[in-house]
Each structure stands twice: as structure tokens, then as C-alpha cells.
Amino acid sequence: MGKKNLYSSMFRCEPGVRHRLSRRDPDAVAGLDKEQGQEQFEKTLKRLQELEFLLYAENKHSVLVVLQAMDAGGKDGTIRSVFGPLNPQSCKVTSFKAPTPVELSHDFLWRVHAVTPRLGEIAVFNRSHYEDVLIARVKNLVPKTIWSKRYQQINDFERLLTENGTHILKFFLHISKDEQLRRLTKRLEDPTRYWKVDLADFEERKLWGDYEKAYEEVFTRCSTDDAPWYIIPANHKWFRNLAIARILMETLEGLQMKFPAPKYDVSKIKVK
């Protein structure tokens, strides 16, 4: 794999392999310091803005970005830093909360399919359909006989999307348990972050090991050639942002997009 695909190759979960979070370093920064990383990020972001414009203009592809993490893992910060500077006309974010009574009356993918990207768009999911094999599994919200079938249902759903022009990138923002505690504690010390304090986040820490096992099952069973998972080191926010931006850039460049031909002979149009 070429140099430009370095980040994809480093953090991609290869299909058919058992993936262990204990073997992934959440502090990894690919040999960069913060200044170098931020300089690369700015250049990458500028290129992303160009590629997003091209994606929108060509209108032949769409991109779905899935963000998952432990509590305080950095999903909101990633959206703000990487996707915030993109054009909201063609880059849309959906946050998945607890399903509503109407959503619960349908299959678990119903609410997800409704907000997948149309051609020319990037859609970002803050949490996603994977909650139905994560929290639903860990908290026993549905029986094992139900959630155990969902891995294949998710793979079939994602294959449907990819066969119809959607390119899927799934990112797990990998932080350590100590880093999570530091971030949760910081919220208690900063009045501007009080609104983010949720007692459930502290309770969920007791289930850290159960969530790790649930995520590892997801990476092993649902990372495919067409819809790969990437485990992104996320203890350092600047590197997290750079890695995700680079992988997205690599994906968009790989589409070999072109601006559509003009509808008219522009040389004959006279502006008076």
C-alpha cells in the first residue's frame, strides 16, 4: 500500500481477523509531535473541502461515516473539528439517542436507513445502528437470540448501501480507561461543561470490560472489505482528528471523481 494510504493501513481492521483492543495503543501518534500533526491536519482539511465540493458536484457517490466510542471518547470533538469546517449543504450529522416508541415499532435499522446519505453527500453518524449490538448486548435490552442475529443483518444492510454507491467508513475512537476518567473529571471542574455531566457515564465505567468485548465482536464480525472498521488512537485529540481526516481524504481521492461536463457551450454565453 502506498504512502498516501498509511493511515488506512495502520488502523484498519482486516476482515476475518479477531481484533483485540488490548493490542492497540490509544496513545499512538505515528511518530509525530503535536505541531507536526496540526500542520498536516490543516493541509488535509483544505484538501477535504475541495474533495467534498467535487463529491457534491459529481453526484455519483455518497459517503457514510460512523463514529463510535466509549463515553467521553471524543465523538462530538471529532465532528466539530473534522466535519464542522465542511459545507453543511452536503455534510450532515445525525445523532442517535434512545429509540422513540415509533422507532421501536419498526425493525432496528428502519430509523438508520432513513438518514443514510444521498448521492453527493457525506453523512456522519454520532453513534449508530451498532448500538443494537453494543448497549443492547451489554445491558441485556433484548435477548441474545435477537441481538446475535443483528451482526449479519448489519452486514447485509451495509452491503446494500455499498452496492448502491455509498462508501462506508466506521471509526472507533479508542481511549484508555484512565483517559476517560480524566475527561469525565474535567467536566466536573469546568462550569461550561456541566451540561455534559451524566451520572450514567460514571456507572457505565463499571462495564468497561463488557463493552470492550462487545466492540471486539463488532470489529471481528462486521469489518468487511466494503465497510471497514478503523480503530483510531484517540487519547490525543489532535492525532485522532488527523487520522480520521486523512482516511476520509484517501477514500475520496480513491473515487477518482471529475466535475460534470457543462450543460451548455459556455464559450457562447455572453454576459451583458
- Please list the helix, strand and coil fractions of the chain in percent, rounded to the nearest 5, in that order: 55, 10, 35
- Report yes or no on 271 lying in a domain: no
Contact 130, 171 (CB under 8 A): no
- For residue 267, tell me if it sits in a domain: no
Under 8 Å between Cβ of 231 and 21: yes
201, 261 Cβ separation under 8 angstroms: no
- In a domain? residue 74: yes
* Domains in the chain, number: 1
**Best CA proximity match to 180, nearest among 159, 156, 155, 201:** 201
pLDDT in tens, the chain (272 residues): 344 578 889 999 999 999 999 999 999 999 999 999 999 999 999 999 999 999 999 999 999 999 999 999 999 999 999 999 999 999 999 999 999 999 999 999 999 999 999 999 999 999 999 999 999 999 999 999 999 999 999 999 999 999 999 999 999 999 999 999 999 999 999 999 899 888 888 889 999 999 999 999 999 999 999 999 999 999 999 999 999 999 999 999 999 999 999 888 888 888 88
Which residues contact residue 214 at a Cβ distance below 8 angstroms, ignoring those fewer than 6 apart?
133, 134, 137, 138
120: alpha, beta or left, given left = phi > 0 and alpha = psi -120 to 50? left
Domain range for residue 107? 3-255
**pTM confidence score:** 0.95
CATH number at 32 reads: 3.40.50.300
Q: Would residue 270 count as lying in a domain? A: no
